[in-house]
Amino acid sequence: MKVLICDATDPKALETIAAAGIKVVNKPDVTPDELMQILPEYDAMVVRSRTKVRMPLIDVASNLKAIVRGGVGLDNIDVEHARSKGIRVLNTPAASSDSVAELTIGYLFGLARRVPQMTASMKSGKWEKKAFKGSELSGKTLGLVGLGRIGQAAARRAAALGMNVLFYRRTATEVDYATQVDLEELLARSDYVSLHVPHTPETHHIIDAEAIAKMKEGVRIINCGRGGTIDEDALCDAITSGKVAGAALDVYAEEPSKGHKLFSLDQVIGSPHIGAATSEAQARVGAEVAENVIQALG
């Protein structure tokens, strides 16, 4: 049995897989063209978010028994087509939840107190004490669009900070630390809106110009979920007009994101899709990846 590692994966996971008698080929920079050529040789593949596993690739993978995604979402894999071919599709949905939730909370503080902007000011030799009056999170309302594992982890932390937490989810859900409302009510009441939904046809641009118009003046928006769920041009216009006071983004419609006009705005802070990039999360993801590969090929 052979497994192809298509994206960077914790070295201990590779050792665990190899110790189970499975041949591991580590190609974390493999190109799409190369994958088309070599994938028929393999019984399983491990991917993160970089590698896209679409129908043409699945169709040439004549020996493939499992696709293991190290991470939460499966939107980079044509899951139903793979399963129709008898290929198991597995992921690690819980391993990185805390890391992404903590980044979300970090962005709440970053937006409330403008931490990145203050740091940049200090590094430029300025002492702009009167320019950076912030606001407290306690007593403010956080609206979560989506309440999966990451949304729940973020909600618990926000509630512990004294925030009033609302959430929108299509299925009825009861939790002690947040209140379920419809999307329109969430948009109207929230001081901060944070997205925690996959990117699907139903959630594409769920936050667009029309949705933003329903929000409070001076709302702040966070997206550590999936790119494509926010209309980035509409968000840019709303920040420029003053409707939205700030935004914090870890994910983008196109990745890598380079030179988008959002980042010409001082009110925007961001990161290069690193929500799960902590040493603890990577170790947990790796352990679950190894377990999934061994189980699938055992």
Instruction: Just list the catalytic residues.
Output: 226, 255, 273
Token pair of 68, please? 């293991």
Distance CA(158)–CA(160), nearest Å, equals 5
Token pair of 226, please? 């999936």
What is the edge-to-edge ordering of all strands in the sheet holding 192-195?
179-180, 164-168, 141-145, 192-195, 219-223, 244-249, 268-270
Distance CA(290)–CA(1), nearest Å, equals 14
Strand segments, DSSP code E, in 129-197 are 141-145, 164-168, 179-180, 192-195
> Rg (Cα) of the chain, in Å, rounded?
21
| Contact yes or no for 167/143 (Cβ under 8 A) | yes
Q: Give the number of other CB atoms < 10 A from CB of residue 237.
A: 15
**Closest Cα partner for 215 from 268, 145, 158, 271?**
145
Distance CA(136)–CA(154), nearest Å, equals 17
Q: Where are the alpha helices (DSSP H) in the chain?
A: 11-19, 32-38, 55-60, 79-84, 97-113, 115-123, 149-160, 183-189, 209-213, 232-241, 279-297
